[in-house]
Structure formats: C-alpha cells, structure tokens
Amino acid sequence: MTADEVRGSVDTIVLIMMENRSFDHLIGHLSLPKYGGRQLNGLRNLADPNLQNPSQNGSMIAPFEADDEPLPNDLPHERSFVTTQIARAPALGTFAMNGFVLAYETFSGTSGVLQPPPLRVMVPDDLPTTEFFADEFLVCDSWFAPLPTSTQPNRLMAFGGDSVLDVSRNGLLPTQDLVFDWLTRHGIRWRIYGAGLSFFTLMSKMWPILLTDKFRSLASLSFDAQHESTATWPQVIFVEPDYSDTPVHLSGHACDNHPPSPVGFGEQFLKQTYEALTSNEERWRKMAILLTYDEHGGFFDHEPPKPVPYAPPSGAQFAAFQTTGVRVPAIVLSPFVGRRSVSSLLYDHTSFLQMIAERFGGAGENYSATVSARATNGINSLSAALDVNAPPRPPPDPPKTTPVPASSLVTTRAPVTTMETSFTTAIEAFTAAHGTEAMAKFPEIAHFHATK
Amino acid sequence: MNASVKLRGLCAVLCAACCGPSVQSFVARPNVICAGSAVQLSWQASTNGVLSAKAPPSALGNVPASGTREVSPHSTTTYRLDVHNFWGSDAREVDVDVKAGSGKKPVGQSVADPATTCSSATLTVVDELKPTSWGSDLTVAGVELPENVNRIIKVQHGDRETELRPTMRSSDRLAGLSVIGTWTLSTPLDQSETCGTPTIPRSLTILVILECKP
C-alpha cells in the first residue's frame, strides 16, 4: 500500500510482540517438504551442512525437530553472545550464523549436549494458532530484530525507534521518547491491552499512564471491539502477553513464549487475541495486525543479519551496531493480505513505526530521523506488506482448540535474570510511587505484595 | 505504602538476588567415549543439588555445591544436575555420547573460527579434538563425506592425509590413528565461489568412523 492507500483503508493498527524466538526455530518448518514445502526463506533440509553448528568438543550438530516442552534453562541472547551466534568470519567478511551452540555452551557452563536447545525446530502440531495465521495470512520471511542484542534495546527500538541501551540492564529503564508520546502528540487514540503486567512498568514515566484507561486487561478487548464507540475505540492497539520475567502470573503461567517456558500458553493467548480483534467484522475490515517477536532469544536462524547500522542516540554511550539483529517470525493478519502469502522485503521493528507515521502523520511526515535513516538503509514500511486490492473476506475461523503444553510451566531458574530483577524492582518502585492505586489497577501487583 | 511492605519488597529483591540457586557449570569429561569408559562429571553450583541420569541407574543422589563424580555409562545418556532452595531452582543437562564397537561422529569447524584461512582457491578450517572431550580409546576406522556434502574435502590428521570426493565418499587411509589431535579440512573453491561471497560454505564437516579398541 502507498501512504495514501494506508490513510484511506486502515483505521486500526495493532502490534502484538512476543518474546525470544527466531524465525527458523519457530516457523522455519513451513518450507520443509514434509510440512508442505512453502516457497519462503525457511528451512529446506535439516541435514544441510550450512545449518550445522560446531560445539566445544569439536563435533558438528544439526538442527532437529522437537516437541513443545519447558527447557532446562534460558538461552543466551545478550549482545556479546549474539556476536558469537552470528559468527562473523574474519577471513571471509561474511556471517556464518553457526555460533549458537558455542554461545549456549559458554552461557550455560555445559558442553557435549547432543541436542542443544538453540537448534530446536518447532513442529506444526505444537503451533496450531501460528500455523493458522501463517496459512491464512502473510508471512514476512525477512523481518529482523533491529539490533543484535537482547530484549530491552529491541523493545525500545520497536516502541520508540531509538534505544538508549545496548544491553538489557537491572532496574528501571531510562526515560526516552516512545510511540505513545508520538501518538499523543498527534492526537491519535491508542491503548495497551495486557494479559499481565505491561513491559512499560519498567519505565517510570509510563506509570501514571498505565493507571489510566490507556491500559486495559486483555479480558476486555473482545467487549471493547464489539461495543466501544468509534469516538473512543483506539486507532492503535498494543497487545502484551503475560511476561515470563514478571514475578506473578495470575493465570498460573506466562504466555509470552520466552524460554524456558513452552509455547503452548502463547498459542492460547494468540488465539484469544485474534478472536477478540476479529469479533467485530466491520472493524476487522479496516484493521492491520502485526504479530512478531522482540528478538531471537538465542535460537538459531540461518539468514545473516543485514547491514543496517545504529549509532547511540544523544546521551547514550555504547559501541555502534553495524547490523540488524537476528531474523524473527513476523506475520501480518489483515483483510489486506492474501491467503498463504509471503513478503520477502526487508523489515525490522521500526517498519511498524514507519507505517504509524504514514497513517497518522502529516503529509510526507516521517516518524523520526532514526527511523528514516533505517528506511534509507533498506528497511521497508509495514505498509509494503499490505495490498489494498486484496479480495475482501471475512475473518477466517481459528482452530477450535489449542493443546495444553506437555507440562505446565515450571520455573527452572532463579528469579535473578536481568529482566526478572528489573520487573521486581519496577513493581516495588511503582507501588512506592502510586500505592494502592497501582495495586487496584494491577491485581498482579497486589498479589505480589500479599504473597511475598 | 507502609514501611513494612517496602521492607518486605526490598527483602524479596535482595534475597532473590543473593539467594536464588544457580548452576555455574556442569560438564562431563570426556563426553564422547567407548562403552564403559570412565567419565568425570564436575559441577559448580551455589548450593547442594541432586544428580541424576536418564539411563539406569538414574538416581545418583545428593551432591555438594561443587564437586566431581566418576561414572561409566554403557549407552548414550543425559546427566542432569538440579539445585533448589526457597527462592527457586536451576538445572543443567549434559550428554555423554557412548560408542559401542563402532560409530560415526560429524567433525568439523565453522569458517568463523579464527584459524580459518581462505585463499583465492582454497578454504581451510582446523578442528582440534581434545582428550578432555574424546576418550583415549577411540580410534579412527575411516572418514566419509556426509550425505549432504557434495564437494571435495581434503583431510589431514596426524601424519596422514586423504581426499574425499562425491565420487569417492569414504577413505580408510587414516585408520588406526587416535581420534584426538588436529584435523585440518580444506576444500577447493569452485568458479562461482570467492572468499567473500555469501554462497561460500559456512563450515566444513566430515564423518569420522570411530572404533573402540578391544
């Protein structure tokens, strides 16, 4: 779609951002002959020597199919580990994309694992909702995390177009301009729907906003979609899963797909979200939903990162990034895409912000200088995946059920990772600043204080 | 917000940070062996744990926070270390690949390894198989081109060398050598490949046919 077509056709833009899975790991199987062999840039043959990773003991390990289950531990995905994973070859100047096992062995203090978690390939039976989306809508097979690093910098890029961090850190996030500020400045209605605590609990400037109607429980999305007046129904919607790194899960489990959690609960969350957003067919007809993952989470992918540099913004100090991060799954759910379609244009999370500016900015207005620079370096707008001439169709019905994961979520690690500690710190500080108001709005916070 | 709630919150953060259990390392040495050979499991954790194996006998019992244990598996198995305390849990798993009689193992190296060289005509990688990972009773019976590799690979190991080709996929010229030591694999680049192109192989791999000394 052109910017004019976006302005004339799309009324509601939705972003669903999950956690920590790579393209090849989660949906690379779509192109395997045994699963239909779709014509997209996924996996063709798990025995392809170019997919093998060396291990510390000198043997080579190939990717393998694996059922959905809790993993023994999380995978490395911080900046230094991603450097190992993408494996730039000094003698060649190319990226070998085969350092995922070495990074895992270093991170976990193990070696000699015959089937290391980074090389797991998910299979269709465990992904009924994702398979349904990929079958009915458009898969982007060249969508990258913006930066070769972890959650916090990549989410800041997705939600702000800049990141003052190059690595995730303990404690609250530093304040920076976010898409919420941009939308508010432009008078655009927006809202976050969350299955748990918002990621933006980590940023203190967001606390007063999270206490308003700008944040609602995911449970109310279906009702709002069907009954809320057009005058207040948001034009931009952010749907957040229940994050594994938060200390309280009122439903008993997280659903963000962050390892070591299985993905079954995420499949249920995605189905629930889709059903809610499509429950009003009139609104669906002018809707574009982007489902993607913040970063690869330590899982392998064969596609090298793209040369899109990123220098630290004013006030931040870190070595500039020279490339995007690792490729992640991205599926566009909309009546403006064809069934079983694929877009192989280059995208990253700032593609979403490009489209926000096209739809809601002034004529010719860009989202920001950084997002424009990335566009100049080849990053396309999300709108490039949409087709104004796609044949109209009602929202297809999702699978009736999703499987319950083989085992329920078991936390197999201490709550001391950077993100876990950050969420705990944020809850304490949020409560200290806003007291009972915070506990009343977020039952997770009340539960946290009641049970600790 | 009363002081008690704040104090308990602070305690939750600090205690989780200082008291949550963690496994810093859990390794098996060597981890490719002949059946019945000795393997040393060693670990470093923040607290006592429980050691187990997937192959019987599965329960290996309670173990201190750091230590070693010698095991002698007769089939490929996974060892697991679990640590728990009030604040949480952590776990690590490691496999021991057990060869009985003979078996194959893919051996190779990424082109991202610093020892890799690429001239206009040849790509060369070096793979070091160390006695900390490979049993000293494993010998080489032969080498093969893996099923999906269709290019010439020259193999140097010990004082011998051989060449594998799509038309001659296996060789026994290295038979009898210990698997431990330096393996140098090189391949000629074809006309469509140059050192900087994305189509160049990302690693070189051969299959080593292993044999256990009687």
Reduced to 3 states, what is the DSSP secondary structure of residue B85?
strand
Tokens of B187: 């391949």
Q: What is the DSSP string of A79-138?
A: HHHHHHHHTEETTTTEE----HHHHHHHHHT----SS-GGGEE--GGG-HHHHHHHHHSE
Is residue B5 predicted with pLDDT exceeding 60? no
Reduced to 3 states, what is the DSSP secondary structure of residue B129?
strand
Question: What are the two backbone dihedrals, phi and then psi, of residue A150, each rounded to the nearest 5 degrees?
Answer: -100, -165
- State the pLDDT confidence band at A73, using cuts at 50, 70 and 90: confident
- Closest B-chain CA to A46: B148
pLDDT tens string B40-72: 999 999 999 999 998 776 888 999 999 999 999
pLDDT tens string B10-19: 444 444 445 6
> Residue A292's pLDDT is what?
98
Alpha helices, DSSP H only, in A13-75? Answer: 23-27
> Residue A410's pLDDT is what?
43
On whether residue A55 sits in a domain, the answer given is no
DSSP A50: G
> Residue A407's pLDDT is what?
52
- Closest A-chain CA to B201: A50
Strand B88-99 and strand B32-34: the pairing is parallel
- State the pLDDT confidence band at A415, using cuts at 50, 70 and 90: low
Q: What is the C-alpha end-to-end distance of chain A, expressed in Å?
A: 51
Please judge whether A92 and B111 are an interchain contact, meaning their C-beta atoms are less than 8 angstroms apart. yes
Residue B153 to residue B174: CA distance in whole angstroms: 14
Beta bridge partners of B206: B107
Please judge whether A58 and B12 are an interchain contact, meaning their C-beta atoms are less than 8 angstroms apart. no
> Residue A416's pLDDT is what?
59
Tokens of A39: 């014509």
Number of domains, chain A: 1
Query: How big is chain A by its Cα radius of gyration, in Å?
Result: 21
> Residue B18's pLDDT is what?
52
DSSP B132: T
Reduced to 3 states, what is the DSSP secondary structure of residue B104?
strand
On whether residue A186 sits in a domain, the answer given is yes
H/E stretch holding A421: helix A418-441
On whether residue A352 sits in a domain, the answer given is yes
Chain B CB contacts of A437 under 8 Å are none
- Quick check: A424 contacting B, CB < 8 Å? yes
Give the mean model confidence (pLDDT) for residues A141-150.
98
pLDDT tens string A229-254: 999 999 999 999 999 999 888 877 89
Beta bridge partners of B117: B124
The minimal CB distance from A428 to the residues B9, B87, B113 is found for B9
Counted residue by residue, chain B has a size of 214
Give the mean model confidence (pLDDT) for residues A108-112.
91
Is residue A315 predicted with pLDDT exceeding 70? yes
Residue A226 to residue A234: CA distance in whole angstroms: 13
Q: What is the mean pLDDT of chain B?
A: 89
Is residue A16 predicted with pLDDT exceeding 70? yes
> Residue A346's pLDDT is what?
98
On whether residue A302 sits in a domain, the answer given is yes
Tokens of B153: 């690979």
Give long-range contacts, CB 8 A cutoff, 24+ apart: A173-180.
A173/A202, A173/A203, A173/A422, A175/A203, A175/A204, A175/A205, A176/A313, A178/A203, A178/A206, A179/A236, A179/A353, A179/A356, A180/A206, A180/A209, A180/A214
Residue B63 to residue B70: CA distance in whole angstroms: 13
On whether residue A191 sits in a domain, the answer given is yes
Residue A363 to residue A204: CA distance in whole angstroms: 33
- Quick check: A45 contacting B, CB < 8 Å? yes
Is residue A45 predicted with pLDDT exceeding 60? yes
Q: What is the mean pLDDT of chain A?
A: 94
On whether residue A216 sits in a domain, the answer given is yes
How far apart are the CA of B149 and the nearest CA of chain A, in angstroms? 7
Largest CA distance in chain A: 63
CB B189 within 8 A of CB B130: no
Reduced to 3 states, what is the DSSP secondary structure of residue B83?
strand
Percent of chain A with pLDDT over 70: 97
> Residue A406's pLDDT is what?
58
Nearest to A270 by CA among A73, A84, A16, A45: A16
pTM above 0.80, yes or no: yes
> Residue B10's pLDDT is what?
46
Chain B CB contacts of A48 under 8 Å are 148
Listed in sequence order, the residues at least 6 apart from B72 whose beta carbon sits closer than 8 Å to its beta carbon are: B36, B37, B38, B39
How far apart are the CA of A435 and the nearest CA of chain B, in angstroms? 5
pLDDT tens string A115-135: 999 999 999 999 999 999 999
Query: How big is chain B by its Cα radius of gyration, in Å?
Result: 23
How far apart are the CA of A374 and the nearest CA of chain B, in angstroms? 23
Residue A236 to residue A189: CA distance in whole angstroms: 7
How far apart are the CA of B214 and the nearest CA of chain A, in angstroms? 24
Residue A108 to residue A118: CA distance in whole angstroms: 12
- Quick check: A103 contacting B, CB < 8 Å? no
CB A333 within 8 A of CB A274: yes
- State the pLDDT confidence band at A404, using cuts at 50, 70 and 90: confident
> Residue A358's pLDDT is what?
98
Residue B89 to residue B24: CA distance in whole angstroms: 13
Is residue A288 predicted with pLDDT exceeding 90? yes
- Quick check: A92 contacting B, CB < 8 Å? yes
- Quick check: A80 contacting B, CB < 8 Å? no
On whether residue A140 sits in a domain, the answer given is yes
> Residue A409's pLDDT is what?
44
On whether residue A446 sits in a domain, the answer given is no
Of B7 and A263, the one with more pLDDT? A263
Counted residue by residue, chain A has a size of 452
Give the mean model confidence (pLDDT) for residues A48-64.
96
Q: Mutate which of A106, A111, A407, A427 to test chain B, going by most B C-beta atoms within 10 A?
A: A111
How far apart are the CA of A431 and the nearest CA of chain B, in angstroms? 7
The range of the structural domain enclosing residue A358 comes to: 3-32+125-385
- What CATH number is attached to the domain comprising A241? 3.40.720.10
- Quick check: A407 contacting B, CB < 8 Å? no
